[in-house]
Amino acid sequence: MACGARVAQASLFRLHVEEADGEAQVVFDEPGELRTGRGAYLCRRRVCLERALKKRVFSRVFRRTVMIKEEELRGSLVALLNTTSEECGR
């Protein structure tokens, strides 16, 4: 989405829009969460999230105005990366 790298979808993180209090907020999918609706895909690299935030690509991908909580997204990505590397190390 952000860097245009061609990688398998399985190796990407997916984000979706969550409706809360009348606002559309972009959040990462939880591992194992049912993947429905429109999604945005992001490499498992922090630099790609930063690039996506900087370029404001989310509104374009979701074709609507969305709310971006940058700090929350950064935290989610770090948590997801930690989970992933733990699983890979076993």
Binders of Zn ion among residues 18 to 47 (CB under 5 A) are: 43
Reference 2, options 38, 29, 39, 42; nearest CA is 42
Kindly state the number of chain residues that form the binding site for Zn ion, as judged by CB under 5 A. Answer: 4
Least CB distance from residue 72 to Zn ion, whole Å? 20
Does 67 engage in binding with Zn ion (CB under 5 A)?
no
Reference 42, options 72, 80, 69; nearest CA is 80
Least CB distance from residue 39 to Zn ion, whole Å? 15
**Site residues for Zn ion per CB under 5 A:** 3, 5, 43, 48
